[in-house]
Chains A and B, each alone.
Chain A
Amino acid sequence: MNNLPEPDVLVKHYELTADAWEKAIGTLPGSHTVYAPVKRWGSLDYEPITTENIPAIVYNEPKPVSPLKLFLLPVKENVVLEPDVNKPLVVIGTPSCDLWALDLLDRFYLNSDFIDPYYKLRREKMILIGTACHSLLEHCHCTSYGVNPWPEKNHDILLSQSNGKFFLEVLTEKGEKLLETLKTGLEIPAASNGLPEELIQKRRSVKSQIDQANKKLPNYQETTSAVKNAGEEVWEKYAETCVSCGACATICPTCTCFLLIDRPGFEKVKQMDACQYPGFQRVAGGEDPHRKHHIRFSNRYFCKYVFRPERYDALACTGCGRCIEACIGKINKNEIFMEITR
């Protein structure tokens, strides 16, 4: 699946006032399921949007707590029954790190060997309104993975907010179609110029701040060989405070492992799983290639930086930093990379 348009062919720019934009979104609930980032108790996460909470939507702030994958790969889903997907899903405010993660998810779940029918249906119904990050969080390090902090791929519309004005760049047919709905009873004039210079400067400034904050990190190209060559003692050392809670995998925008649970009537429930849980690879009889904690711990690094990139030619880490924020053992993967590339 490639949502990238030919440059300068499909891209159309529009400019709205804040009031007009909120009215435009107000046309969606009912015909569409809409999610957007809303701040609660200081943390930003996607919430369902109704006509009531449109003013609470937060724009251009760095990543929501939940990764975008949760809209495509629910925590739990009965995969024998018909999927419960009807209306198109509009996700507003998807950050670049999550949009890049779709490369891997799409190649993994929509490859020619096997197309997951549930993923495919959700993906087709998904319309993504990406936003650039106008600030950064402590563990943001997308740029060290070649990911810029503004949407570059896999989104349908790019939305930017500046000085009370909203700018839309419509990039795909899905985006065009959504724009038609947004225009219901509303004038959305095409912008004569492209993005205001002020917004371009803001993007550049955030990129350089992320670069600066992570200047000691190795380049993405070095991570594969670094993981392959890391001594066992490194994994032993960092696994010491790992409690195998699986938070890193759950919160990761590219982790895909799951468990099939049986239900009466030969039904199967597909539930999110994590290679960090003890017994993940255990077989009947008790053999377990990942019995040793540090081997299980290292598996996630091998998967992210060696196996997946080599096999799917896509980033399996987009530098969102959620795994660092989520770790209750205070394990910082960036510290591991600094150590193994020293």
Chain B
Amino acid sequence: MSANNNIYKPFKARLEKVIEESPLIKTLVMVPETEFSFKTGEFIELTLDGIGEAPFTPSSSPFVKDRFEVTIMKAGYVTGLMHELPVGEVLGVRGPFGRGYPVEEFFGKEVLILGGGCGLAPIRSLLYTLIEYKDKIKKVILAYGSKSPQDCIYKPLFSYLNSIDNFEAHRTVDETTDDWDESVGVATVLLDKVKVDIPNAIAVVCGPPVMMKYGTFKLLDMGFPEKDIYLSMEKNMSCGLGKCGHCMMGEYFVCKDGPVFTYDEIKDLPDIW
């Protein structure tokens, strides 16, 4: 059995650049040592040699082949150490794994994206993908919430999106400072402000569990059908193969059957949020 066909064995990637997005969130730009491509919404397992690995959905464009980015919130032991890595460090990568966003199904429709906190990472990859297909998408609306202005990540992204025809981006913060002139309140408040042709739209939600839950309920109240709400479920994905059991959500293995699910697929399962 060679290393090439052993799915448990990571390939190597070199850390090229670290971008500080917020006090708790950094983006690692990495150059893979072997050919690597992914579809938007699929995820990888990123390994710190001899220490541990953690799942991340790349936040970069799948159309960029020579490097990829992962945006990491300092939330535990491994992610804390990942924040301290020097440029040039070699990491391990397994994947890509799972089922990403079915972008072709969004063609001809409006796409309403609700994101919160570090949940904007997979969404940024999706947005880059939708930009590539902008002639096939009717409209893209991003509604993003963060705790405070300084917790808002990808700051240049919003003006860039607003400069593209049929793309609009809105931000809100839970707590404000004097120089903030955008919305205040949880992410769902933005949904009252946007104009969506719901029968011809789909919604995408990614963020912390509490935002996913109330964001989904709000979208249902607005009239989105359950099958048109796409959720990126981030659980404790470990093996990436649908085997180890750590990410089981009802009958599903989030790492293999997801991480992207429609709400109607998972609504009856216990403890999804």
Say yes or no: is A265 at the interface (Cβ < 8 Å to chain B). yes
Using A113-B242, A258-B245 as known contacts, say yes or no to A284 and B251 having CB atoms under 8 A apart.
no
Q: Is B14 an interface residue (CB 8 A)?
A: no
User: Which chain B residues border A256 with CB–CB below 8 Å?
Assistant: 243, 245
- B51 A262 Cβ-Cβ under 8 A: yes
State whether A260 and B49 are in contact (beta carbons under 8 Å apart), knowing that A268-B8, A303-B248 are contacts in the complex.
no
Provide 19 A-B residue pairs closer than 8 Å at the C-beta atoms, listed in order of the A residue. Answer: A79-B6, A80-B6, A108-B243, A257-B244, A260-B244, A262-B47, A262-B50, A264-B49, A266-B50, A268-B8, A275-B248, A280-B245, A281-B247, A282-B236, A283-B76, A289-B249, A289-B272, A307-B250, A307-B251
Q: A259-B244, A281-B235, A287-B209 are in contact. List 18 more A-B contacts (CB 8 A).
A: A109-B243, A113-B256, A114-B241, A117-B5, A258-B239, A258-B243, A258-B244, A258-B245, A259-B238, A260-B8, A262-B49, A262-B53, A266-B10, A266-B49, A266-B50, A268-B8, A282-B236, A311-B251
Q: Total interface residues on B, using CB and 8 Å?
A: 46
Question: What 1/0 flags go to B244-269 for Cβ under 8 Å of A?
Answer: 11111111000010000000000000
- Contact check, A265 vs B50: say whether CB atoms are below 8 A apart: yes
Within 8 A of B (CB), among A264-317: 264-266, 268, 270, 273, 275, 280-285, 287, 289-290, 295, 299, 302-303, 306-307, 310-311
A335 in the interface (beta carbon within 8 A): no
State the interface size on chain A (CB cutoff 8 A). Answer: 41
Distance in Å: Cβ of B207 to nearest Cβ of chain A = 12
Q: Output the least CB separation between B242 and chain A (Å).
A: 7
CB of B243 within 8 A of CB of A80, answer no
B266 to chain A, nearest CB (A): 12
Indicate which residue in A266, A287, A295 contacts B9 across the interface (CB closer than 8 Å): A266
Q: Report the Cα distance A306→B252, complex, angstroms.
A: 12
Nearest chain A CB to B5 CB, angstrom units: 8
A177 to chain B, nearest CB (A): 24
Min C-beta distance of A297 to chain B, whole Å? 13
- In the docked arrangement, what's the CA distance between A284 and B82, Å? 13
- Pick from B1, B77, B238, B248: contact of A82, CB below 8 A: B1
Chain A residues lying within 8 Å of B53, measured Cβ to Cβ, are 260, 262
User: A173 to B123, alpha carbons, bound, how many Å?
Assistant: 54
Given A266-B10, A284-B54; A116-B243 close (CB under 8 Å):
yes
Task: Decide yes or no: A117 and B6 within 8 Å by CB, A290-B271, A295-B271, A310-B251 being known contacts.
Answer: yes
Which of the residues A80, A83, A281, A285 comes within 8 Å of B246, measured between beta carbons?
A: A281
Q: Report Cα–Cα, A270/B53, bound state, in Å.
A: 13
Any B CB within 8 A of the CB of A263: yes
| Chain A contacts to B: CB under 8 angstroms | 79-80, 82-83, 108-109, 113-114, 116-117, 256-260, 262-266, 268, 270, 273, 275, 280-285, 287, 289-290, 295, 299, 302-303, 306-307, 310-311
B54 touches A260 (CB 8 A): no
Docked complex: B216-245 residues within 8 A CB-CB of A: 234-236, 238-239, 241-245
**Is B198 in the interface zone, CB < 8 Å from A?**
no
How far, in angstroms, from A262 to B49 measured CA to CA in the complex?
Answer: 7
List the A side residues contacting B190 at CB < 8 Å.
Answer: none
Query: Which residue of chain B lies nearest to A306 when distances are taken between CB atoms in the complex?
Result: B251
- B157 contacts the other chain (CB 8 A): no
The answer on a CB contact under 8 Å between A79 and B8 is yes
Known contacts A117-B6, A281-B248, A307-B251; A266/B243 CB under 8 A: no
Q: A114-B242, A257-B244 are in contact. Are A263 and B235 (CB under 8 A)?
A: no
Per-residue 0/1 for B36-63: is the Cβ within 8 Å of any A Cβ (1 yes, 0 no)?
0000000000011111111000000000
Tell me the minimal C-beta distance from A29 to chain B in angstroms: 27
For the complex formed, measure the closest distance between the CB of A268 and the CB atoms of chain B, giving whole angstroms: 5
A206 to chain B, nearest CB (A): 34
B100 within 8 Å of A (CB atoms): no
> What CA separation (Å) do A270 and B240 show in the bound complex?
13
**Nearest-Cβ distance from residue A287 to partner chain B, whole angstroms:** 6
If A281-B236, A307-B251 touch, whether A273 touches B8 (CB-CB below 8 Å) is no
Q: How far is the CA of A310 from the CA of B51 in the complex (A)?
A: 37
B270, A295: Cβ atoms closer than 8 Å: yes
The yes or no answer to B145 lying at the interface (CB within 8 A) is no
Expressed in whole angstroms, the Cα–Cα distance for A299 and B271 within the complex equals 11
Bound: A342/B187 CA distance, A:
47
Give the Cβ gap from B216 to chain A, nearest Cβ, in Å. Answer: 16
Distance in angstroms between the alpha carbons of A296 and B171 in the assembled complex: 38
Distance between Cα atoms of A285 and B248 in the complex (Å) = 18
| A109 contacts across to B, CB distance below 8 A | 243
Q: Which residues of A contact B87 (CB under 8 A)?
A: none
Contact status B75-A280, CB under 8 Å: no
Whether B245 and A284, one on each chain, are in contact in the complex, defined by CB atoms closer than 8 angstroms, is no
Instruction: Give a binary string over B64-108; 1 marks a CB under 8 Å from any A CB, 0 the rest.
Output: 000000000101111100000000000010000000000000000
**A114 vs B95: C-alpha distance in the bound complex, in angstroms?**
13
Q: How far is the CA of A273 from the CA of B234 in the complex (A)?
A: 21
A263 and B243 CA atoms in complex are apart in Å by 20
- How many angstroms from the CA of A265 to the CA of B270 in the assembled complex? 39
Which of A260, A287, A310 has the most chain B CB within a 10 Å cutoff? Answer: A260
Tell me the complex Cα distance, A82–B242, Å. 22
Docked CA distance A36–B249 (Å): 38
**Smallest CB–CB gap between A116 and chain B, Å?**
7
Contact of B235 among A80, A113, A289 (CB under 8 A): A289
Minimum CB distance partner of A117 in chain B:
B1
Is the CB–CB distance between B245 and A275 below 8 Å? yes
Q: Which residues of B contact A280 (CB under 8 A)?
A: 236, 245-246
